[in-house]
Amino acid sequence: MSLSALTVFLLRVREEEATERQAILESIADGVVVADASGRVTMANAAAERIFGQPEKQLQGRSIRQLFGRRSPDAEATVQRDGATGQASAVQPTLELAGKMVRASLAPVERRDGDLLGYVGVLRDVTRKVVAERAKSEFISNVSHI
């Protein structure tokens, strides 16, 4: 096999792998946002587009901390590192987006040697659950005052 034929073959394999990853990402019902090591969004699936109300092209290049942190009423969404071990851990803020309550999970993606590859954020619309919990709490509160 010549060098140019090998190059074409390897490019085709990479393209097929990228297409497969994109198909997997799109098949996930929850919103998924992927960022590089600098925290800039590189990919987002259709569910994330619906949750943020923006197409992937507008999400790309934005800071994942901005997307997750500025909308979080209960926690700033930054990946936290343990002072002693240096290990990164996920944070799970609840975000308010266009009248929806969204449970987010933002976690680092690291190599086995600890080098940071990037971040992945998963978003789940929990509006119905939050509304049901509030109604339950109000009902219990009202009943207990009778």
From residue 127, give the alpha-carbon distance in Å to each of 31, 74, 84, 95, 123: 14, 16, 37, 10, 12
Quick count: other Cβ atoms within 10 Å of Cβ 20? 10
Query: Is 70 within a domain?
Result: yes
pLDDT value at residue 60: 93
Which residue shows structure tokens 């140019």?
4
Residue 72 lies in a domain: yes
Instruction: Give the pLDDT confidence score for residue 21 in this predicted structure.
Output: 84
Q: Is 133 within a domain?
A: yes
**pLDDT tens per residue across span 48-90:** 998 888 999 999 999 987 887 654 443 334 455 554 445 555 6
For residue 88, being part of any structural domain is answered with: yes
Indicate whether 139 belongs to any domain. Answer: yes
Give the chain's domain count.
1
Q: Please report whether residue 19 resides in a domain.
A: no
**Domain contains 40:** yes
126 has pLDDT over 80: yes
Average pLDDT over residues 103-120: 88
Range of the domain at 39: 30-144
More confident residue, 121 or 138: 121
Does residue 22 have a pLDDT over 70?
yes
Residue 74: predicted pLDDT: 39
pLDDT of residue 105: 85
| 83 lies in some domain | yes
Average pLDDT, the chain: 80
| CATH number of residue 66's parent domain | 3.30.450.20
Residue, of 86 and 36, whose pLDDT is higher: 36
Sign of CA dihedral 110, 115, 117, 118: positive
